[in-house]
Structure 1
């Protein structure tokens, strides 16, 4: 079946908006495949750092990314056969992902990989440019967001409640304080919105979903309802 006829739901939004959690649950409810595009950039940030390639070196980052063997299996994120699911979920790798994602050459290098993940019975893809660049003809486009303050509070509580790698646990009082997270998110938003290649923006045909006062379950329910509506109009 052509990818043109495979239903795709895109969920774009800024860092820490909850789009990943929501997207996974929507995919599970529908039995669709799930694409966490942000994980791809975190993987590249991790791999390049491990090989002493500066995140700011656009050409070197893009060329090295082409050599990587990346796979997603259940809860595992495999880089050249090694599960690095925990390693890429640090705040440092989140920052690195935001930096390398600004490189047009890297975004081009990862384009085919993302398209290849569009398979039957359907796909739920979350990221920054899923609905604007990667899957512009998606069946349903959602732009999921919340205020910077709300997102910082959620990320802070998330970090307090999870088992973090040693590098994130040390100096928790400063590195992972609410204020430092708020500043980091503000800087990431600016990078994502102002980059020359595929900046973060809401697609013209996307539905805005503000989650400041919504639970995860409510956000998931809203998207499922919108998807059912979209099927009736196609």
Structure 2
């Protein structure tokens, strides 16, 4: 089946990337982490002292930002930034980059080009509503803010970074508000998306449920 698209949307920390990676391996799909692409833009802005509110300045530098994904590594202007984009300082700013119209236009176009003619699974905030409104399968994956904060703190700890749970929880709640209230492609469930709450589910359980949906869509 050519150009089979699975779109997974949901708030920060709901497990989208983890599940998308596992689904890509199980069903031989190309995985595109769209959130990482926005993180690379945010990292570029931070490293180059770009004002997230200065649209004139942003328009000037956007053509200078080259993004690539090679063998699971995230490349920004020729440099592997896979670890840098997962740091708290980038996490705190990524929503501010993602709400900028010009940034979204650049990255949505890139996401469509990368996905053209492939069987893909993408995760983000607007995959099923904007990037691929005709996706074969749309999933809206959610979890409680408290559970998402717990997961995020554990992820940081696994990478050797210690973060305060309450601070992470407040950051997640703030990001939820920004993502769902922004003018450009706000986070929302597509009308034909399947909503799944993973708050009390293990990764294996979530994977099993979504795997069944993919098999149904593929007619397996």
Compute the TM-score of the two structures, normalised by the length of structure 2: 0.94
Aligned-partner Cα distance in 2 for 1:94–1:156 = 12
Provide the residue aligned with 1:48 in structure 2. 45
Do the aligned residues in 2 keep the contact of 1:9 with 1:140 (CA within 8 Å)?
yes
Any stretches of 5+ residues in structure 2 without a counterpart? none
**What SS class does the counterpart of residue 41 from structure 2 fall into?**
helix
User: For the structure 1 residues 75 and 53, does the alpha-carbon distance in structure 2 shift closer, same or farther, using more than 3 Å as the test?
Assistant: same
* TM-aligned CA deviation for residue 109 of structure 1: 1.7
Q: Residue in 2 aligned with 1:229?
A: 216
Paired position in structure 2 for 1:178 = 165
For residues 100 and 209 of structure 1, do their structure 2 counterparts lie closer, same or farther at Cα, with a shift above 3 Å needed? same
Match of 1:35 among 22, 29, 32: 32
Shift of 1:119: 4.1
Q: 2:75 aligns with which of 73, 78, 82?
A: 78
Secondary structure, in 3 states, of the residue corresponding to 2:52?
A: coil
Q: Which stretch has the larger CA shift, 75-84 or 185-194?
A: 75-84
Q: Distance in 2 between matches of 1:6 and 1:74?
A: 20
Contact kept? 1:46, 1:93, Cα under 8 Å: yes
Runs of 4+ with deviation above 6 angstroms: none
- The structural deviation recorded for 1:197 is 0.7
Query: Does the 8 Å contact 1:16/1:155 carry over to 2?
Result: yes
> In structure 1, the residue corresponding to 2:91 is in which secondary structure?
helix
Aligned residues: 220
Matches within 5 A, 1:149-168: 149-164=146-161
The whole-number CA distance in structure 1 between the counterparts of 2:159 and 2:171 is 19
Structure 1: 5+ residue stretches without partners = 165-171
Q: Which residue of 2 aligns with 1:201?
A: 188
> Structure 1 residues 212-221 or 7-16, which shifts more?
212-221
CA distance in 2: counterparts of 1:62 and 1:150, whole angstroms: 37
Contact 1:31 1:121 in 2 (8 A): no
> Of 51, 54, 61, which residue of structure 2 is paired with 1:57?
54
Which residues of 2 match residues 78-157 of structure 1 at below 5 A? 78-157=75-154
Give the RMSD, CA atoms, in angstroms.
1.7
Residue 73 (structure 1) shift: 1.1
What's the TM-score, normalizing by structure 1?
0.89
Secondary structure (helix, strand or coil) at the match of 1:66 reads helix
Q: How far apart, CA to CA, are the structure 2 residues paired with 1:75 and 1:6? A: 20
